Structure 1
Amino acid sequence: MNLLRLLFPMWACSFSLFSLLIHARPQSTVPFTSASVLPSDQEPISQFSSQMEAVSPGVAVVRVVHHQDLNKRILIALIVASTLLAGILLFLSCFWICRQKILNNSNGKSKQKNLEPTKALSLSPIVDRFNSLWMAGKKGSVAVIEYRLLEAATNGFGESNVLGEGGRGRVYKARFDDKFLAAVKKLDNGGVDAEREFENEVDWLVKIRHQNIVSLLGYCIHDETKLLVYEMMQNGSLESQLHGPSQGSALTWHLRMKIAIDVARALEYLHENCNPPVVHRDIKSSNILLDSNFNAKLSDFGLAVTTGSQNKNVKLSGTLGYVAPEYLLEGKLTDKSDVYAFGVVLLELLIGKKPLEKMSPTQHQSLVTWVMPQLTDRLKLPKLVDPVIKDTMDLKHLYQVAAVAVLCIQPEPSYRPLITDVLHSLIPLVPIELGGSLRLT
């Protein structure tokens, strides 16, 4: 009906135009005298006399319309009017089709918004967008993910989806479709410090890309709740593998050495390749994540800082048992602080004990203090090794790893090696298929 209402005035305008075209010019006439005045077989005496006869009083003048000219004008008017009307019809048809498409699309979107996300939702467009932003190398380019999507993917942040719990909040398994999984860290509202660490984490992981540093897929801010979305690491943290229910049973000697060189590669990238160098400040087994193939990736950059003069009065942060003595006692922070923490992780892999063992409700024993005098004794060392891997390694390799650990945990920072030297010392102990240079026979 709306289309007919538009067509009727258009048709009326076309008809008026048609009429105007017909009557726009005066009709052509030819004078013709009657037979009684000028016989057909008699020629006028002169042009002047014939003109006089044509206008003489009493002479009847008959005007004859040339029908051939009139037919041509009618035909032209019809063609013009038909072309105009056809153009109007075509325009209205296109307008109507476009309008229907817009209405259908808007109805589809409104229905989709009203549906509750009861099924798994796909994150692939978000991942593609984030990767494209990453490739562009723009600071601050990171995917912002809707809270409802994360809520649906984690089954409402249900207890069955909890992967672990840290000092700042819980980590949940998020399933976005049958093939895509991610880990969502839901941060507690911890005030100014938590806000600063959240921003620091996002800022660093947007700028840093390395095979042994965990990938940040996106983040979400919902009211006071802040969430970080990481790639899924199927085997959890090194802490849960070593000190959880399995007690390190899945970690062979070669896998433990592979994890050590993976972490060393990540630290080498931070210390040697970043400009200015970056100090992680929180190296520990719970921040070392393992994927399905036990590839290790460093996570949790909330405390990371760049080295330099601005760090002289940096606020003391970290985890007891991993914090270097000079940082704990004097507040001095350098890349050697990370080397110390790496040495403690190496001891965990070697001996299977926590950095601080609870001896009584009020007393804890430091792993470094307890093991340091025994690491250089070749007779005692094999007895200190984690029972899970005892007698499964070449003793020469065991002595070499112990020597590297001793150097890393030296109280004096200048006595500790660079992480690059540590890495090159460990690579020959790891099989080629696990990323080292050792050829097994």
Structure 2
Amino acid sequence: MDLPIRKFSFHLLAWLHRSRRRRLSFIKRYAYKDIKKATDGFHRIVYSTSHGAAYKAKFRDGGIVLVKEITEINQEKEEFYRKVQLLGRLHHRHLLALRGFSFGHKRLLVFDNVENGSLKEHLNDPLRTPLNWRTRLQIAAGVVAALEYLLLFNDPPIYHVSINSSNIMLDENFNAKLSDIGVLTSAGDSEAMPHTSCSKDCMNQECSNLIYQLGVLILELVTGQSSENGDADLVQWIQESRFRNSIHNMIDPDLGNTYDNRELRSLLAVAKLCIASRGKPTFSVLQIFRYFQKKVEIPQ
């Protein structure tokens, strides 16, 4: 190899090494005191699990964001930074984008705006304007699109996801945004709450659990009922052989007669398939997604 080329290669490798060592150059670091004030002393809880809580934060400039507390035991500083970098590289219109982080008294992740709060609030709060049928279809489609991106278009598909109405946020246009996304550590541990991970050919227990969560979410969108205290009733209903005869008794009263009957039955067919996949998956993740896209045509 010629000397000039060897010198160029040496300097290029050195530059790449320095670039990889730079931490979080594209992600903002927030002061802990600013986040504490914006969350009203961490009292504006959106949802909470045994692994931490998520808070609604409002800053002086009027911006509203979601702040997630990471309480993983023995979480090293460098490992936390690595996770922040990985999450910061995810870009999809149905994922809540990572804005920044804070590492101090608490390890915090700061995500994008949540103007319309969580899906759960809109389904369960009688003071909220009910979601119309078109919006519910779009929310279901948005969740599927986000999962497709995370599981099929990331190499390797190491991202962990939890799906429920509490951690699906809605932006100003009521677009669904998944907020509970984690990544595997080098040791194989997970940062996320109840989770699964899989590839497009995955048909194991972990992937079937994820598809099951999607099915339960669809049932929540259709019925307006919460699965917070267990989803047994909703699941039992759709597993009944004569469930089709009771569809109109189960649909959310807030929808009135505004829904399309064909679209409703198609959406429930997807939910039924997702629920049936738990414990004995017979379809891959890719097949489930394609089935949804075939059965559910989102109105423009």
Instruction: Please state which band the TM-score falls in when normalised by the shorter chain.
Output: 0.7 to 0.9
**Deviation at residue 175 of structure 1 after TM alignment:** 1.6
Shift of 1:150: 2.9
Question: Once the 2 structures are TM-superposed, how far is the Cα of residue 250 of structure 1 from its aligned partner?
Answer: 2.4
Contact 2:235 2:275 in 1 (8 A): no
Residue correspondence of structure 1 range 102-181 to structure 2 within 5 A: 140-141=24-25, 142-152=27-37, 154=38, 157=41, 159=43, 162=44, 164-167=46-49, 168-178=52-62, 180-181=63-64
> Residues 267 and 296 of structure 2 are in contact (CA less than 8 Å); yes or no, is this contact kept in structure 1?
no
User: Is 1:260 matched with 2:260?
Assistant: no
Q: Is the 8 A contact 2:119 2:166 kept in 1?
A: yes
Is residue 2:266 matched to residue 1:397? no
Matches within 5 A, 1:18-417: 140-141=24-25, 142-152=27-37, 154=38, 157=41, 159=43, 162=44, 164-167=46-49, 168-178=52-62, 180-185=63-68, 187=69, 189=71, 191-192=73-74, 202-222=84-104, 224-246=105-127, 249-302=129-182, 304-305=183-184, 319=194, 332-334=205-207, 336-355=208-227, 357=229, 366-374=232-240, 377-410=243-276, 411=278, 412-415=280-283
Partner Cα separation in structure 2 for residue 199 and residue 423 of structure 1? 36
* Structure 1 residues without counterparts, runs of 5 or longer: 1-135, 325-330, 358-363, 433-441
2-structure distance, mates of 1:164, 1:230: 13
| Deviation (angstroms), 1:393 | 1.4
Aligned residues: 268
Displacement of 1:347 in angstroms is 0.7
Greater RCO, CA 8 A, separation 6+: 2
Query: By how many angstroms is 1:147 displaced?
Result: 2.3
Query: How many Å separate the matches in 2 of 1:375 and 1:305?
Result: 40
Separation in structure 1 between the aligned mates of residue 193 and residue 31 of structure 2, nearest angstrom: 31
State whether residues 375 and 403 of structure 1, in contact with CA within 8 Å, keep that contact through their aligned partners in structure 2: no
Give deviations 1:399-423, integer Å, cap 9, x for gaps: 1111111111113212466343144
- The offset of 1:356, in angstroms, is 5.1
Could you tell me whether the CA contact under 8 Å between 1:352 and 1:386 is conserved in 2? yes
* Cα RMSD, aligned residues only: 3.6
One of 431, 436, 439 as aligned partner of 2:299: 431
Instruction: Provide Cα deviations, 1:311-333, integer angstroms capped at 9, x if missing partner.
Output: 7xx78x855xx989xxxxxx942
Residues 215 and 231, structure 1, Cα contact 8 Å, conserved in 2: yes
Aligned mates of 2:47, 2:264 — CA distance in 1? 33
What TM-score, normalized to structure 1?
A: 0.53
Distance in 2 between the 1:253 and 1:196 partners? 45
Q: Cα gap change, 1:205/1:189 in structure 2, threshold over 3 Å: closer, same or farther? A: closer
TM-score by length of 2: 0.74
Indicate if the aligned counterparts of 1:382 and 1:390 stay in contact, CA closer than 8 A: no
Q: Show structure 2 runs of 5+ residues with no match.
A: 1-18, 198-203
Q: 1:216 to 1:365 in 2, by over 3 A?
A: closer
Q: Indicate the SS of the match to 2:131.
A: coil
**Equivalents in 2 of 1:408, 1:197: separation in Å?**
35
- 1:163, CA displacement in angstroms? 5.1
Contact 2:23 2:81 (8 Å CA) reproduced: no
Please report how far the alpha carbon of residue 171 of structure 1 lies from its aligned counterpart in structure 2 after TM superposition: 0.4
Q: Percent identity?
A: 28
In the alignment, is the contact (CA less than 8 A) between 1:356 and 1:366 conserved in 2? no
**Contact in 1 for aligned 2:56/2:64 (Cα 8 Å):** no
CA contact (8 A) 1:219 1:227 kept: yes
More helix per residue: 1
